[in-house]
Structure 1
């Protein structure tokens, strides 16, 4: 006979009738259940030991192989990975043994992390330890109701075709793959765009780095003419805390033009939509490989910026960074 699930009331009635002296066939007829002799025996044995005919699930014996990690081992490993997520498996193994005396193989450590604790290895995002969340959320609160149409973001980025090599390549299984540097001594080109929610307002490209004087000149002659006095569209300039953004004639230039200048919290590139635009730009350059055979890389980069950083892209990135964008019509 296969396994039959009996209602708890049936078990209670059957055991009570057995205690009263009724035979098993009478009980089967009275209850209308084909109860086996083995079931009667199990229920009576359980009643004699526990005074209960329903087994407590917590009393079941563990089935299969015993667990390699105790509860204290599990809690220690979770805490260890939270505090030091970059540890190698052999380091976790050693720490676990030093703490609790539990000695496992590296393979067992990996299996327990993945299968039991659902902790996997992944590429981490890089965070700066000096980043202050209080400063970040204070900035977010202040900018919460500022219309995105008022904001203009700017920043510098360097581009080198050696940095634009594709990160992955295909090859037959078991064989290595390679990527080749075309230009042995590529020049490093710096770009300095400024974007509003409607797209690019101004842009400068140079084969050198931007210093304070170049930044001041870009601000005064290239960007300010496309901005408006506050409060109006494109009237608040937002940039990071780089020295060139604060020194020189920056405040005087903005004050004379009626432009407000706001600084992002330190180490918070996620609040600057132009950082996402740089990612899209470098993806396009990496995909097209246009710099590998370019006779005028500065011009090609300008053309790519114009084609990539569109009004739709800027709108999406402003919204992604949490700014108060208007409804899309």
Structure 2
């Protein structure tokens, strides 16, 4: 017999009538249904055992092969993703190995995150620190005393490797993930240049960030020098930087 969905009230009425001794034919005629005998017997049994004609899903016996990761592992994965939702699957696997001495394969980890945690992979929304009002005010304060003919700036030529690779994050299905806040310090290359009315005059590429005040005297000297007629960027280093 094909599966037929019955409302909870219909199930309760049929179970009560069977307990009261009403025949199945009379119950079907009175309730205008076509319920089979097996269904009424099952509803009656559940009602007598639990007080309800609907089973509690928590009491269901799990079928199929056992999970490779238990509930404790699942909680650890949830906490790991809450702390950093941009982690790659192999990075999550390494963290689990350090915490539990288990190293699940990538496919198992992907299936666990997708089906059991109900997480999906999304394109992360990035937030540049320069959008911060406090940092913009601090930048204006630092450059306010520079002569108007000089405009000294800092910009990343090659950004932090983590910022380039981690552009996606994981979040529950139907919810937006945390926005990715990029960092402006650490492992990146920095281009420092000086600009005046004649255009871009000089620049230098360094492997790490530096303080603007340390570079201002050298840039002023370069801009004031009459021998500088074009950009003096180290082309070899720029070529290596751009790959």
The alignment's TM-score, normalised by the length of structure 1, stands at 0.39
* The structure with more strand, counted as a fraction of residues: 2
User: With CA pairs under 8 Å and 6+ residues apart, which has the higher RCO, 1 or 2?
Assistant: 1
Normalised to the residue count of structure 2, the TM-score between the two structures is: 0.50
